[in-house]
Amino acid sequence: MELRGYWKGLCVALLSCVPLPSAAQGPPPGFPCRPLACSTLIPTRTVDDPTTNDCAYRAGNLWWVDYVAGSLAWSKEPRAHPITVAVFDDGFWLDHEDLRNQLWTNEAEARGKAGTDDDGNGYVDDVHGWDFVDNSPDVAPKGECRDRFSHGTLMASLVAAERNNHVGIAAPGSDGARVMALRITGCDGAATKADPARLVRALEYATRMGARILSFSAHWSVTSEELDAAFREIADRPGSPVAAIVVASVPNKGEPAAGYPAAYDFRRIVRAIPIGNDDTLSPGTSPAPPGLNLGAPSACVIGAGNAPAQYKLEQGSSNSTAILSGLLAGIWSSPRYAKLSPDEFLAGVVIGRMSKTARRSKPGSRSPYLDGVPLADACLLATGRRSASVCRQPEAHREARP
């Protein structure tokens, strides 16, 4: 069955790539390393953290990391078992300075012979992922996307940009997430349409190769039985050997429904609700099923784009999705939680703690957001070694800790 609905793989590029007014005239001098003031949520202030020297962080421009207390998901030592986050998008510049060391790597292919399927998984030379549009190990943006700010690269950087490398940004999943790059949509012609068979192949690849979080800043309005079945196996069936957490974007362009995969009523779907600049739901956020709906910042977010060193200020619900995926990976990979299954992590940490945080966005205007959206808040997960300066209710958090 052909997917006749709009494919937001292209459209998410639009969602996330609407430039802020200040960006429309080109980046300000020194960007992204000079302080900006595009968010009212947390006043921009410089940060003096000797362990995090990324210039945008020190300039106070990563307010969105603080907003989800993302620094609590960082670690002093390398994580023994980082979480593989599969990012499904329109292409990736893997040699970007803030991304090249943050990639999931298929070791058999990395050490193997060019032109040979060294691990016998059916994909030749799939070192960091696969291009399911052009059936190629080269996941770089192609066609018109080569000349645009790269949406997929932006998403990957918001999941897991390299921290403490002096340049660019850091992200909640800098230490705990590694990005598997899966190109599932292109920029030109037929490649922009959702292809269910292509999506099913990408889902099978991601779970077979060990991805535990699947990040979809894309969404679509029509699905197929085959695709539904693949998502049900991954995101719903108890005991599934390919169980993973699907982080799904909820759009904020006034669409009448959230679209798939956010529309699935599956237990392992976490929906990313875009929080706008005024600490409330982003205007135009679509209705979504009740469930694991966690808010994350959407506006005034700096991410990486084209190689070798380009950054851009972006807004849109795509950003919320990637930030949330990185945050979940950063927390899940911590020694305290690393051994939990997807269902155990969701029940014990995401449902049991994060979604019960007292910190919530202000109520929205329509169901199911009338009571506000629980923010993706790592404050409750503080280990005691670290403290987040932005955890707004420290007393409540202390009481809530075991």
Report the distance separating Cα 371 and Cα 389, nearest Å: 26
Q: Name the DSSP letter for residue 136.
A: B
Q: Is 305 in the site for Ca ion (CB under 5 A)?
A: no
Nearer CB in complex with Ca ion: 125/131: 125
Q: How many CB atoms lie within 10 A of CB 374?
A: 21
User: Which of 54, 89, 175, 233 touches Ca ion (CB under 5 A)?
Assistant: 54
The span of 70-78, 103-111, 336-344, 383-391 binding Ca ion (CB under 5 A) equals 103-111
User: Which of 168, 173, 251, 259 touches Ca ion (CB under 5 A)?
Assistant: 168
The span of 4-12, 165-173, 330-338, 388-396 binding Ca ion (CB under 5 A) equals 165-173
Nearer CB in complex with Ca ion: 123/260: 123
Q: Name the DSSP letter for residue 28.
A: P
Token duo for residue 234: 């991954």
The span of 104-112, 207-215, 249-257, 312-320 binding Ca ion (CB under 5 A) equals 104-112
Nearer CB in complex with Ca ion: 133/302: 302
User: Which of 46, 101, 116, 365 touches Ca ion (CB under 5 A)?
Assistant: 116
User: Which of 123, 130, 220, 264 touches Ca ion (CB under 5 A)?
Assistant: 123
Q: Which residue is nearest to Ca ion (CB)?
A: 54
Q: Is 165 in the site for Ca ion (CB under 5 A)?
A: yes
Q: Cβ distance 180 to 129 under 8 Å?
A: yes
User: Which of 112, 143, 291, 368 touches Ca ion (CB under 5 A)?
Assistant: 112
Report the distance separating Cα 339 and Cα 334, nearest Å: 9
Q: Is 204 in the site for Ca ion (CB under 5 A)?
A: no
Q: Cβ distance 32 to 336 under 8 Å?
A: no
Nearer CB in complex with Ca ion: 282/306: 306
Report the distance separating Cα 186 and Cα 238, nearest Å: 34
Q: Is 125 in the site for Ca ion (CB under 5 A)?
A: yes
x/- map, 325-354, Ca ion, by CB under 5 A: ------------------------------
Q: Is 175 in the site for Ca ion (CB under 5 A)?
A: no
296 backbone dihedrals φ, ψ, rounded to 5°: -155, 155
Q: Which strand ranges, in their side-by-side order, compose the sheet holding 83-89? A: 129-131, 177-183, 83-89, 213-216, 245-249, 269-275, 293-297
Q: Cβ distance 88 to 215 under 8 Å?
A: yes
Report the distance separating Cα 401 and Cα 145, nearest Å: 47
Query: Max alpha carbon distance in the chain (Å)?
Result: 58
Q: Is 279 in the site for Ca ion (CB under 5 A)?
A: no
Backbone region of residue 122 per phi and psi (left: phi > 0; alpha: psi in -120 to 50; beta: other values): left
The span of 141-149, 161-169, 262-270, 279-287 binding Ca ion (CB under 5 A) equals 161-169
Q: Is 368 in the site for Ca ion (CB under 5 A)?
A: no
Q: How many CB atoms lie within 10 A of CB 382?
A: 17
Q: Is 126 in the site for Ca ion (CB under 5 A)?
A: yes
Considering only CA atoms, which of 284, 349, 295, 293 is closest in space to residue 323? 295
Report the distance separating Cα 263 and Cα 103, nearest Å: 29
Q: Is 134 in the site for Ca ion (CB under 5 A)?
A: no
| Site residues (CB under 5 A) for Ca ion, limited to 69-98 | 98
- Shortest approach of Ca ion to residue 249 CB, angstroms? 24
Q: Is 255 in the site for Ca ion (CB under 5 A)?
A: no
* Binding footprint of Ca ion on the chain (CB under 5 A): 54, 98, 109, 112, 116-119, 121, 123, 125-126, 162, 165, 168
